[in-house]
Structure 1
Amino acid sequence: MKKNNIILIGMPASGKSTVGVILAKILGYNFVDADIVIQEKDGRKLSEIIAEEGIDGFIDIENKINTGIEVEKSVIATGGSVVYGKEAMEHYKNLGTVVYLKVSMDELTKRLKDVKQRGVVMKEGQSLISLYNERSVLYEKYADITVDEKNSTMEEVVAELLSVLK
């Protein structure tokens, strides 16, 4: 198995899917949306899994399914909560380069108008800032490369990422 994949991690609304699609086109890679893979394999929408299994149950399913993703020459956009799955993250570290798309809390608040509608995996009563702080540590831990989006457009983020990957 060659390590020729790029795995995007980061908060919801950090642009993983958008950046992933553009990057895949430029590199001539396949694009894999891990959340859609979960829906296909499980047969339920993410929101249904969370409603029926609870947060911990969803994270278990997400971890299992992500650990089973075997691809080559692909850009994989993961769900924001993938970093809770130790096995999934170890698998991804072996599968390719893990890129953390880092977005500031201010920017995130702007982008995530409706947290519930986005299906953001958060515990009852958890605030976005506490979720951000909890996950940032994990994103930093697993990232091979961190791209700080600052106020960049998605195209600028892609350009920066390409220059770092070369």
Structure 2
Amino acid sequence: MKNIVLIGMPGTGKSSVGVILAKHISYAFMDTDIELARRAGRTLPRILREDGLDRFLELEGETGLAVDCENTVIATGGSMVFSEKAMQHLCESGVVIWLETPVEALEERLTGGSRERRGVAAPGDMSIRDIYALREPLYTKYADLRIACRAGVENVVADIIRKLQKTGIISELQAE
């Protein structure tokens, strides 16, 4: 079976949605941010602080290229889309779903130091709106499906399952 690859901005809920979606369809779950931190032996903010943005993006791309699994929901880092090779690899492994969240909601979620704690890969002087504008064309490019994230994690998961069933990627028997 194919993987389900979740892409989108930091704060969209890729990890939260991914864990619940995987449980509903009996898939494994993988978070590339956690894998990147494990491989580097450091947190994402520390990698960004010590190695800089370019090296972080390089490590993130290497992590995406190293993904080798099946029947897995994969939550990617928000900036994974900057690595064309990694995204081609992930696209070949399954269906890519963009969790699309209004920029206003992202601005609310990524305030008060949350951006720094999460390790958002972008120059510090860039606003969330600017980061979104930079990444949106890449999310559009790689996404097989788009899910509007407006009504809570369980509703987003239900929307994903409906779309996956409608496209024949999963059967009704898989979703419990």
Q: Does TM, scored on the shorter chain, surpass 0.5?
A: yes
Residue of structure 2 in register with 1:131 after alignment: 131
RMSD over aligned Cα, in angstroms? Answer: 1.0
2:156 equivalent in structure 1: 157
Query: 1:81 deviation in Å?
Result: 0.6
1:117 Cα deviation (Å)? 2.3
Q: Amino acid of the residue matched to residue 65 of structure 1?
A: T
User: Aligned equivalents of 1:119 and 1:72: distance in 2?
Assistant: 27
* Aligned-residue offset at 1:51: 1.3
Tell me, yes or no, if the aligned pair for 2:147 and 2:160 is still in contact at 8 Å: yes
Separation in 2 of the partners of 1:116 and 1:46? 9
Task: Describe how 1:33-112 pairs up with structure 2 within 5 A.
Answer: 33-112=31-110
2:38 and 2:155 map into 1 onto residues whose CA distance is 32
**Unaligned ranges ≥5, structure 2:** 166-176
**2:48 is paired with a residue of what secondary structure?**
helix
TM-superposed CA distance for 1:112, in Å, is 1.4
Residue type of the alignment partner of 2:129: I
Q: CA deviation at 1:52?
A: 1.7
Structure 1 counterpart of 2:28, from 13, 16, 30: 30
- Superposition deviation, residue 124 in structure 1: 3.4
What is the total number of aligned residue pairs between the two structures?
163
Are the counterparts in 1 of residues 33 and 76 from structure 2 also a CA contact under 8 Å? yes
Q: Structure 1, unaligned stretches of length 5 or more?
A: none
Which digits, 9 at most, give the CA deviation of each residue in 1:44-78, with x for residues without a partner?
A: 21122111211011000110111011001000001
TM-score (norm. length: structure 2): 0.89
Counterpart Cα distance in 2 of 1:119 and 1:56: 13
Of all paired residues, the percent bearing the same amino acid is: 40
